[in-house]
């Protein structure tokens, strides 16, 4: 394999879910998200994306476009966007208008990442979509959204104002090979959710690159992979901080979903649960700067992604800020030597 991209050469970005902390409210999560985005901008991160989820006690990013506006208004340079908007939950015209409004307020800073999944359970999905076929119509609705955002739509009887002609970058998000084929055929950049669905990452990247068709939006394939990172000054501290992330995933496995729990050095799980969790968390990197550097260097060399996106489920907000700082400093130190 030819090594084109390396850890120290590619941009770093952040995925945020406005995670609700145990004992806190959504309002605290929003303030923490903005504070993290401001810190990320200061550190030199490229993007700050927010993900749409519904009916989850630990996630407050359900009104995603509103949060994107809140974060963009509190920052000045970092790109802000959706990772993603779950398109089957929305009318394409409404998405075009919302992101047209955001792009008008914050020019050249807004990304529109689109996903096919509902971002919730099936019962809630039905309450959101009112259309059981919405997910199967994803390619069609992506095209419809592109049409609303195009300059050519100016003669149409239905127009997205604002939105039309604003050149808002659209990304296809996914956790399977289906999304890779779609992104490739549409000639759009592709972001893979390897932070919770690692199994098909390498095959999806291969399919996307092999089948990519250049478009007016993108001449060559461009990929992002999202991973979990918990970095701290010592290995032991990082391992303790990571227990909050482990509790989140254990809650998903056992259907006992709660707000993000504090770190717990005495946290124990059964060997069976640990084995299943390990499959979910294949691309979760926990440790000190040196360990993170080694792991991410190998990950980028193996995947040859163009950009690395990171999510960190850390209960203590200051420790979360510190983790992102260590990560960026590690990258910069790698670049120097």
193 domain-assigned: yes
What was the pLDDT predicted at 2?
A: 61
Instruction: State which residues of the chain have pLDDT below 70.
Output: 1-3, 118-120, 129-130, 337
What was the pLDDT predicted at 183?
A: 98
Cα–Cα distance between 225 and 283 in angstroms, integer? 10
The strand ranges marked E within the chain are 12-16, 47-50, 79-86, 110-115, 170-174, 190-192, 223-231, 284-287, 307-311
Taking CB atoms within 8 Å and a gap of at least 24, the contacts of 249-252 are 249/196, 249/277, 249/280, 249/281, 250/277, 251/58, 252/280
Reduce the DSSP state of residue 328 to 3 states and report it: helix
Bridge partners of 225, per DSSP, are 192, 308
What was the pLDDT predicted at 172?
A: 98
Question: Roughly how many angstroms between the first and final C-alpha of the chain, as a whole number?
Answer: 23
237 domain-assigned: no
Q: Are 63 and 29 in contact (CB under 8 A)?
A: no
140 domain-assigned: yes
**CATH assignment of the domain containing 101:** 3.20.20.30
Look-up: residue for tokens 């419809």? 144
- Residues sharing a CB contact under 8 Å with residue 261, sequence separation 6 or more, in sequence order: 22, 244, 247, 248, 315
243 domain-assigned: no
Question: What global pTM score does this model have?
Answer: 0.94
Q: Please give, one letter per residue, the 3-state secondary structure of 252-305.
A: HHHCCCCCECCCCCCCCCCHHHHHHHHHHCCCEEEECHHHHHHHHHHHHHHHCC
113 domain-assigned: yes
What was the pLDDT predicted at 112?
A: 98
What was the pLDDT predicted at 269?
A: 85
What was the pLDDT predicted at 69?
A: 98
Look-up: residue for tokens 């208004």? 73
247 domain-assigned: no
172 domain-assigned: yes
According to DSSP, the β-strands at 79-86 and 47-50 are parallel
The alpha carbon of residue 212 and the mean position of all alpha carbons in its chain are separated, in whole angstroms, by 22
The secondary structure of 90-117 as a DSSP string is S-HHHHHHHHHHHHHHSTT-EEEEEESS
Look-up: residue for tokens 């390897």? 194
50 domain-assigned: yes
Count how many Cα atoms sit within 13 Å of the Cα of residue 44 in the half-sphere of its side chain: 11
Q: Are 325 and 43 in contact (CB under 8 A)?
A: yes
Range of the domain at 216: 12-226+304-313
Cα–Cα distance between 3 and 10 in angstroms, integer? 12
The total of structural domains in the chain comes to: 1
What was the pLDDT predicted at 150?
A: 97
State pLDDT tens for residues 197-224: 999 999 999 999 999 999 999 999 999 9
């Amino acid at each position: 394999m030819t090594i084109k991209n390396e850890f120290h050469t590619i941009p770093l970005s952040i995925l945020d879910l406005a995670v609700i902390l145990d004992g806190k409210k959504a309002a605290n999560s929003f303030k923490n998200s903005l504070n993290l985005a401001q810190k990320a901008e200061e550190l030199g991160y490229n993007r700050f994306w927010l993900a749409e989820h519904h009916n989850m006690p630990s996630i407050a990013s359900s009104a995603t476009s509103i949060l994107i506006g809140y974060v963009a208004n509190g920052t000045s340079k970092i790109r802000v966007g959706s990772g993603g908007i779950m398109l089957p939950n929305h009318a394409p015209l409404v998405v075009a208008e919302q992101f047209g409004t955001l792009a008008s307020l914050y020019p050249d800073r807004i990304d529109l990442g689109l996903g096919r999944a509902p971002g919730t359970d099936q019962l809630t999905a039905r309450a959101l979509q009112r259309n059981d076929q919405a997910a199967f119509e994803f390619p069609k609705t992506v095209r419809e959204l592109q049409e609303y955002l195009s300059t050519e739509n100016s003669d149409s009887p239905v127009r997205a104002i604002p939105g039309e002609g604003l050149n808002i970058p659209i990304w296809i998000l996914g956790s399977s090979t289906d999304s890779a084929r779609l992104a490739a055929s549409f000639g759009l950049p592709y972001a893979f959710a390897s932070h919770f669905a690692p199994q098909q990452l390498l095959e999806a990247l291969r399919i996307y690159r092999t089948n990519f068709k250049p478009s007016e939006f993108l001449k060559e394939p461009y990929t992002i992979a999202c991973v979990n990172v918990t970095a701290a000054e010592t290995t032991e501290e990082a391992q303790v901080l990571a227990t909050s992330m482990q509790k989140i995933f254990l809650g998903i496995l056992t259907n006992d979903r709660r707000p993000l729990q504090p770190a717990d050095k005495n946290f124990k799980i059964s060997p069976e649960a640990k084995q299943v969790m390990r499959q979910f968390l294949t691309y979760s990197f926990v440790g000190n700067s040196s360990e993170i550097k080694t792991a991410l260097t190998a990950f980028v060399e193996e995947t040859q992604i163009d950009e690395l996106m990171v999510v960190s489920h850390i209960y203590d907000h200051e420790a979360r800020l510190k983790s992102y700082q260590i990560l960026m400093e590690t990258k910069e130190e790698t670049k120097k030597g």
